[in-house]
């Protein structure tokens, strides 16, 4: 066969493969969006930083190390309680857990700064204690995920329960999920 013909066939195969892979990933993205819509439209935001924006210094280990204010909207009607997990998947060894809270009243629309909602329970963090521990990355910019869950039940868990125990207890009770991502890097 002619070398030009072989090269032309290779180019055509690469183009077809590229289009097929692109279609597959685009389809997967649409499926994820559909899944999110099926999981409800609950929203979590903060008046102090935008989604994928910088978390203010005040709410980090370099500042006052207090939780930022959070706002919650569109909680499903059947919600019996809310749970919140704040973690850093960019930590060097494993995902670092900054805050674990459950049994938040479903009527809660705001969590003020430096505040735990009434009657809510805080669980064990990677700091080996309960309570909020602010962003404190050893290097570079890290992402901090504020993950909110609407549950169809209240949870009966001891206060030393870590994230893994909370996730296990919530497994078949999640009505909706929402997520807010903040960024932080330490100034040296």
Q: Do 97 and 166 have their domain in common? A: yes
For residues 61 and 64, give the distance between their C-alpha atoms in angstroms, rounded to a whole number: 7
Q: Do 21 and 108 have their domain in common? A: no
Comparing 18-22, 36-40, 143-147, the range with the smallest average pLDDT is: 36-40
Q: Tell me the per-residue pLDDT of 97-115, one tens digit each, with 9 for 90 and over.
A: 999 999 999 999 999 999 9
Residue 128: its H or E element: none
Contact (Cβ atoms closer than 8 angstroms) between residue 157 and residue 125: no
Q: Do 64 and 26 have their domain in common? A: no
Bridge partners (DSSP) of residue 151 are 81, 174
Structure-block tokens of residue 188: 């040296």
Q: Do 25 and 46 have their domain in common? A: no
Q: Do 54 and 14 have their domain in common? A: no
- Containing structural domain, residue 14: 1-38
Q: Do 18 and 61 have their domain in common? A: no
Residue 182: its H or E element: strand 174-184
Q: Tell me the per-residue pLDDT of 45-82, one tens digit each, with 9 for 90 and over.
A: 999 999 999 999 999 999 999 999 999 999 999 999 99
Q: Do 18 and 56 have their domain in common? A: no
Three-state SS for 76? coil
Please indicate, yes or no, whether the overall pTM of this predicted structure exceeds 0.85.
no
pLDDT number for residue 146: 97
């Amino acid at each position: 066969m002619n070398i030009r013909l072989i090269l032309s066939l290779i180019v055509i195969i690469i183009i077809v493969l590229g289009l097929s892979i692109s279609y597959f990933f685009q389809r997967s993205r649409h499926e994820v969006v559909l899944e999110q819509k099926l999981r409800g439209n609950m929203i979590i935001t903060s008046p102090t930083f935008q989604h994928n924006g910088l978390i203010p210094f005040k709410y980090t280990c370099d500042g006052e190390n207090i939780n930022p204010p959070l706002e919650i909207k569109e909680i499903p009607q059947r919600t019996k309680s809310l749970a919140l997990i704040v973690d850093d998947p960019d930590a060097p060894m494993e995902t670092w857990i900054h805050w674990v809270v459950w049994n938040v009243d479903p009527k809660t629309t705001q969590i003020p700064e430096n505040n735990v909602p009434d009657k809510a329970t805080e669980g064990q963090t990677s700091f080996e204690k309960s309570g909020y521990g602010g962003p404190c990355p050893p290097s570079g910019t890290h992402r901090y995920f504020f993950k909110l869950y609407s549950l169809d039940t209240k949870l009966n868990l001891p206060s030393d329960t870590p994230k893994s125990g909370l996730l296990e207890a919530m497994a078949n009770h999640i009505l909706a999920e929402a997520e807010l991502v903040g960024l932080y890097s330490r100034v040296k």
